[in-house]
């Protein structure tokens, strides 16, 4: 019964986290002058518009994953490098802000154990989604942030190399043990999640 409840809470938290994440990408792009997300029907809080089948399964099974990427045309931006960086960062930031808001709610309001457990799961999955997507490997948001922070020439070189092998690197980072049987993603996510959870869920 506990496992069933956990998976129900995880599924609901997943729907909320991915929807907020992808909607934030779409909203940021729309506000910065790119109509592409709106024309593709992504400027919505309907979770069915944002779910990626493989990314959803990964989040449920391995507690990290992704949603369906929001299509963005940087040529519609006034300042393409700056605005693409903002759009890329808006997704992880929205998950972190949602986790903080829930943490504040938990600090000032009392809930029964079941509701409390759901909110704990929601906070942690939002943090996992944010941390994972900030890893600078294509097609994750962190790669777009990195490319737009680097000098133009350096960015072009890194982008060509990483996008060519991004999928392989990402799969290796998720599944290939590199230290004490732990993967690169595990080494990044676990301590970061533990630290942030200790700040937001200290009780």
Which positions are annotated as active-site residues? 22
Q: 131-148 burial, b if ≥16 CB within 10 A, otherwise e?
A: bbbbbbbbebbbbbbbbb
Helix spans in 73-140 (H): 80-108, 113-133
Are 135 and 188 contacting, i.e. CB atoms less than 8 angstroms apart? yes
Closest CA relative to residue 84, chosen from 131, 17, 33, 119: 33
Rounded to whole angstroms, how far apart are CA atoms 82 and 17? 25
């Amino acid at each position: 019964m506990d496992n069933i409840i956990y998976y129900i809470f995880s599924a609901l938290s997943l729907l909320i986290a991915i929807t907020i994440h992808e909607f934030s990408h779409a909203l940021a792009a729309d506000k910065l002058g790119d109509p592409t997300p709106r024309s593709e029907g992504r400027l919505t809080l309907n979770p069915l518009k944002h779910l990626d089948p493989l990314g959803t399964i990964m989040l449920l099974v391995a507690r990290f994953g992704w949603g369906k990427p929001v299509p963005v045309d940087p040529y519609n931006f006034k300042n393409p490098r700056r605005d693409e960086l903002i759009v890329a960062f808006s997704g992880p930031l929205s998950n972190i802000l949602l986790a903080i808001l829930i943490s504040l709610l938990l600090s000032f309001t009392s809930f029964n154990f079941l509701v409390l457990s759901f909110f704990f799961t929601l906070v942690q999955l939002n943090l996992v989604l944010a941390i994972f997507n900030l890893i600078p490997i294509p097609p994750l948001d962190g790669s777009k942030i990195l490319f737009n922070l680097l000098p133009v020439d350096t960015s072009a070189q890194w982008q060509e190399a990483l996008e060519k092998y991004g999928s392989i690197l990402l799969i290796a980072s998720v599944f290939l043990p590199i230290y004490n049987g732990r993967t690169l993603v595990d080494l990044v996510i676990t301590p970061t999640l533990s630290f942030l959870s200790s700040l937001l869920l200290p009780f």
